[in-house]
């Protein structure tokens, strides 16, 4: 039996308790392992195949269920949430004058989650996308018509929601892969909208979460690019879930990033740890909760090098047993329980 099947077959008390002891031992042997402080959250997954186990559930969520889900996440000690998108496929997830709404069980999901975050002390990075043909990254970052729409969306979202105490900053969901270095058009895009967002929401923070982490060139050119970027936080994807990196490799990649960010002394270095695996083919099948043992090793790998650890993602992949707002695969309770029992989730 392979490791993945072993985890999914944890049906007996003996095996469950054995796994808890294994994880607890891992923590004792690695006292510097950081807890999970942040997570992505979404109203609908951008890749329908991947969101198979939660999209329809989230689509039907009421405002009360969104409140319960944010509370559940906050009670798990998660202090930050990153909203993946405020719109997709030319429809908005909030009442907008710019695009028609998605049909959801809640009239204004964005208001619901921000209102809940106000109550439960969670800080939100609100998305500035997806807009236009979001599958064509070059187009959405360089097309003047998309720029114009993005500016209007940013202003509309700020006008409607920036009064919330939980409105902490902005997230750029449109990413280019790092191929040694960032593409120049990506740096221009990020900086252009960082300045615009600073005008409409003074003091708001900014976050990007690039992929291509394994491809970073550890040289002065990359340091120079970090110095150019006007973003506050960079949460690099560890790319373990998408099977581009092994857990052991991710430690080497983040050690290299730590040195580069120290030299640049600008954007803060965070981690985007992928707590999923695929049901079948990568990118073309449903996301499942990853085995807890693998997630533990992922957290151990990046902890020495980053300021904060975020995960992709709590909704759909983790649920507290008995959740009043359950969304995701049934095995999501296992991942929650293992990480909770072993201390990687710090309960408030």
When the pLDDT of each residue in the chain is averaged and rounded to a whole number, the result is 91
In angstroms, rounded to a whole number, what is the distance separating the alpha carbons of residues 281 and 200?
A: 42
Name the token pair of 169: 């900053």
The pLDDT assigned to 176 comes to 84
Over residues 295-314, the mean pLDDT reads 97
Q: For residue range 205-244, list pLDDT tens digits in order.
A: 999 999 999 999 999 999 999 999 999 999 999 999 999 9
Least confident among 27-31, 75-79, 116-120, 197-201: 27-31
Q: What is the pLDDT of residue 31?
A: 54
- Give the C-alpha distances (Å, rounded to integers) separating 71 from 112, 118, 260, 278, 325: 12, 10, 37, 28, 10
What domains, with CATH codes, occur in the chain? Answer: 33-341 (3.20.20.80)
Cα separation, 259 vs 265, in Å, equals 10
Mean pLDDT along residues 140-145: 96
pLDDT of residue 20: 41
Are 170 and 207 in contact by the 8 Å Cβ rule? The answer is yes
pLDDT at 345 (0 to 100): 79
Summarised one tens digit per residue, pLDDT across range 105-117 is 999 999 999 999 9
Lowest mean pLDDT among 27-36, 52-61, 147-156, 298-307: 27-36
User: What does the pLDDT average to over 276-286?
Assistant: 97
CA nearest 213: which of 149, 128, 272?
272
- Residues 2 and 125: their CA atoms lie apart, in Å, by 38
pLDDT tens digits for 48-69?
Answer: 999 999 999 999 999 999 999 9
* Position 332 pLDDT exceeds 80: yes
The contacts of residue 95 (CB under 8 Å, 6+ apart) are 101, 107, 108, 160
The per-residue pLDDT for 343 is 80
pTM reported for the whole predicted model: 0.90
Measured distance CA(292)–CA(276) in Å, rounded? 10
pLDDT of residue 32: 73
Bond before 313 cis per omega within 30 degrees: yes
Work out the end-to-end distance of the chain between its first and last CA atoms, rounded to an integer number of angstroms: 37
Whole-number percent of the chain with pLDDT over 70:
90
**How many whole angstroms separate alpha carbon 206 and alpha carbon 240?**
24
What is the model's pLDDT at position 8? 34
């Amino acid at each position: 039996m392979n490791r993945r099947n072993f985890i999914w077959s944890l049906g007996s008390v003996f095996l469950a308790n054995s796994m808890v002891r294994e994880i607890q031992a891992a923590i004792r042997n690695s006292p510097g392992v950081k807890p999970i402080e942040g997570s992505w959250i979404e109203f609908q997954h951008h890749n329908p195949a991947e969101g198979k186990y939660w999209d329809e559930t989230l689509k039907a969520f009421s405002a009360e269920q969104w409140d319960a889900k944010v509370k559940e996440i906050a009670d798990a000690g998660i202090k930050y949430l990153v909203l993946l998108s405020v719109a997709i496929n030319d429809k908005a997830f909030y009442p907008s004058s710019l695009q028609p709404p998605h049909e959801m069980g809640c009239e204004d999901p964005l208001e619901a989650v921000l209102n809940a975050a106000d109550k439960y002390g969670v800080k939100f990075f609100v998305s500035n996308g997806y807009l236009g043909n979001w599958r064509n990254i070059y187009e959405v970052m360089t097309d003047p018509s998309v720029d114009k729409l993005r500016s209007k969306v940013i202003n509309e979202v700020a006008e409607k929601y920036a009064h919330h105490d939980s409105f902490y900053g902005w997230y750029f969901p449109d990413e280019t892969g790092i191929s040694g270095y960032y593409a120049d058009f990506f740096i221009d895009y990020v900086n252009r909208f960082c300045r615009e967002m600073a005008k409409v929401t003074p003091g708001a923070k900014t976050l990007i979460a690039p992929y291509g982490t394994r491809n970073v060139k550890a040289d002065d050119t990359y340091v120079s690019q970090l110095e150019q970027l006007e973003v506050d936080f960079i949460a690099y994807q560890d790319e373990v879930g998408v099977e581009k990196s092994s857990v052991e490799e991710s430690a080497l990649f983040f050690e290299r990033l730590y040195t580069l960010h120290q030299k640049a002394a600008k954007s803060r270095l965070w981690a985007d740890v992928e707590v999923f695996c695929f049901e079948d083919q990568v990118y073309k099948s449903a996301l499942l909760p990853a085995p807890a043992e693998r997630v533990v090793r992922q957290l151990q790998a990046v902890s020495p090098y980053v300021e904060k650890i975020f995960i992709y993602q709590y909704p759909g992949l983790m649920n507290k047993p008995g959740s009043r707002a359950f969304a995701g695969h049934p095995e999501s309770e296992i991942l929650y329980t293992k990480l909770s029992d072993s201390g990687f989730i710090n309960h408030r």
